[in-house]
Amino acid sequence: MEEFINLKTENEVILISISLVVGIIIGTEREYYNKSAGLRTFVLVSFGACIFTILSTKIGLSSDDRIAANIITGIGFIGGGVIFKDENRISGITTATTIWATASLGMAVGSGYIYLGLLGMILVILILNSLGYVQSLIDIHHKVRNYHIITSSYSELNYCKELFVKYNLKYEIIGENHRENSIDTEWRIIGKNENHKKLLQQIREDSRIIGFEY
């Protein structure tokens, strides 16, 4: 009996150790890119999910997944804490979903599916790194960016449109604020990243543009 208990304990220590390795590897990648959730966060998420899953199989009276099922709810609160809304965009969603994925890997390891946890870890690292290059490639040919452009009057709006056409950029007005001495217009501009750079160079030096932000 004592040997059986020791064997189970050894197995659990192995599972916990593997979950720590999973968290360390993913967390190191996030820490390297200075994301809002770093090494310690991912280690604790993977480790905690593993522990809760092991406990769920031990003290879940009527169902082995009673505790494990609530891990997803808890991770939702943690993930929500790293999502921030800036004026023009939402950031932190990738980090939040990585936390969510890491918790699933910890659960897989805690359930004894070590191969699934390790395979998932490799896929997470590949997705975070390789797909970033795909996104960059898309941006080169199809960059979507919002601009706030301040002009002195409505007549300057046509001038802005001429600039967009000049640099082969598609445009639409998505917001407008009429002030006493200026017009603040928000545009959604779509086109090649190279053309965005040319546009920025133009409006930085253009006396007809009072100010801009993107």
Residue 191, by phi and psi: left (phi above 0), alpha (psi -120 to 50) or beta?
Answer: left
Q: Where are the domains of the chain?
A: 2-139, 142-213
Sign of CA dihedral 133, 72, 35, 123: negative
Banded model confidence at residue 5, pLDDT cuts 50, 70, 90: very low
pTM of this structure: 0.71
**What CA–CA distance (Å, rounded) separates 111 from 18?**
12
Digit-coded pLDDT (tens) for 25-54 = 999 988 888 777 788 989 999 999 999 888
Closest among 103, 130, 91 to 41, alpha carbons compared: 103
Q: In the Cβ-directed half-sphere of 182, how many Cα atoms lie within 13 Å?
A: 11
**What CA–CA distance (Å, rounded) separates 176 from 179?**
10
Closest among 50, 145, 138, 33 to 102, alpha carbons compared: 50
Digit-coded pLDDT (tens) for 106-149 = 999 998 899 999 999 999 999 888 877 787 888 888 888 889 89
How many helices, marked H, and strands, marked E, lie in the chain? 7, 6
Torsion, Cα of 135, 189, 200, 92 (10° steps): -40
Are 39 and 52 spatial neighbours (Cβ–Cβ below 8 Å)?
no
Q: What is the DSSP letter of 124?
A: H
pLDDT at 60: 61
pLDDT at 3: 44
Closest among 47, 38, 53 to 98, alpha carbons compared: 38
Domain 142-213 in CATH 3.30.70.260? The answer is yes
Strands 183-191 and 84-85: unpaired
Q: Which residues contact 139 (CB under 8 A, 6 or more apart)?
A: 193
pLDDT at 65: 65
Q: Which amino acid is at 145?
A: R
Banded model confidence at residue 4, pLDDT cuts 50, 70, 90: very low
